[in-house]
Chains A and B, each alone.
Chain A
Amino acid sequence: EDQVTQSPEALRLQEGESSSLNCSYTVSGLRGLFWYRQDPGKGPEFLFTLYSAGEEKEKERLKATLTKKESFLHITAPKPEDSATYLCAFSASGGSYIPTFGRGTSLIVHP
């Protein structure tokens, strides 16, 4: 069964303390791997799409990477405004390609 697991469930960082969030997936064929950010009371905001192992994408303090089994969201020198829940999702190449989401990592960055 295709599935996605995110870790850790929660992460507390000091401002400027870099870290990484993990997204492990089990899928027979990967169509795409997606990262979203979700603030409380808001809808998920799109960050990145990765399609193949070895691919990397960056946006400000965030960098997403992809291997054959997992994806990492690296946060460099985070700021309090980076506090949010980060969601990972994948689309499998078989079936209807509907994105399947993990439960997310809740990130809090303290000033």
Chain B
Amino acid sequence: NAGVMQNPRHLVRRRGQEARLRCSPMKGHSHVYWYRQLPEEGLKFMVYLQKENIIDESGMPKERFSAEFPKEGPSILRIQQVVRGDSAAYFCASSPGGFHSGNTIYFGEGSWLTVV
């Protein structure tokens, strides 16, 4: 897990507020992936990004969720108007190249969102 930095580690939001989760990939990695892990469930893919591009967002809910990976700075996963069902662990992973090139992805320690 060393190298992929996520913050905050823990975040509490009231229903209707916004949550912003940040991810800095490992040094030398230019591809970022976001996964969500609900209690008693597996890791579910949300979105795959390169710098300034969304490559695949097929796992992202259509409403309230957005992600970006700007030219400078960390990747951001943004959840607007949070609901209790958004409570989960959100993991970021990175790879040096696109996954299609066979590169393994490496995960951060996760951000635990609790909606009250």
Residues on B with beta carbons closer than 8 Å to the beta carbon of A97: 98-100
CA distance A13 to B45 in the complex (A): 31
A42-B1, A44-B107, A96-B58 given as contacts; is B43 within 8 A of A87 (CB)?
A: yes
Q: Give bound CA distance, A49 to B85, whole Å.
A: 33
Number of interface residues of B (CB under 8 A): 28
As a 0/1 sequence over residues 74 to 104 of chain B, the CB contacts with chain A under 8 angstroms (1 = contact) are 0000000000000000010000001110101
B positions within 8 Å CB-CB of A: 1, 4, 6, 33, 35, 41-45, 48, 55-56, 58-59, 91, 98-100, 102, 104-110, 112
Q: Cα distance A69–B56 when bound, in Å?
A: 27
CB-CB < 8 A to A43: which residues of B?
1, 4, 6, 91, 107-110
The contact of A46 among B6, B45, B104, B110, by CB within 8 Å, is B104
Task: Report the contact-size class of chain A (Cβ under 8 Å from the partner).
Answer: 20 to 34
Partner of A98 from B1, B6, B99, B110 at Cβ < 8 Å: B99
- Seed contacts A36-B107, A45-B107, A51-B102; 14 additional CB < 8 Å A-B pairs: A31-B100, A41-B110, A42-B109, A43-B91, A44-B1, A45-B1, A46-B104, A46-B106, A97-B100, A98-B58, A98-B59, A99-B45, A103-B42, A104-B42
- Contact partner, B104, options A34, A41, A42, A103, Cβ 8 Å: A34
Partner of B45, one of A34, A41, A100, A104: A100
Contacts of A44 in B (CB 8 A): 1, 43, 91, 107
User: A residues within 8 A CB of B59?
Assistant: 98
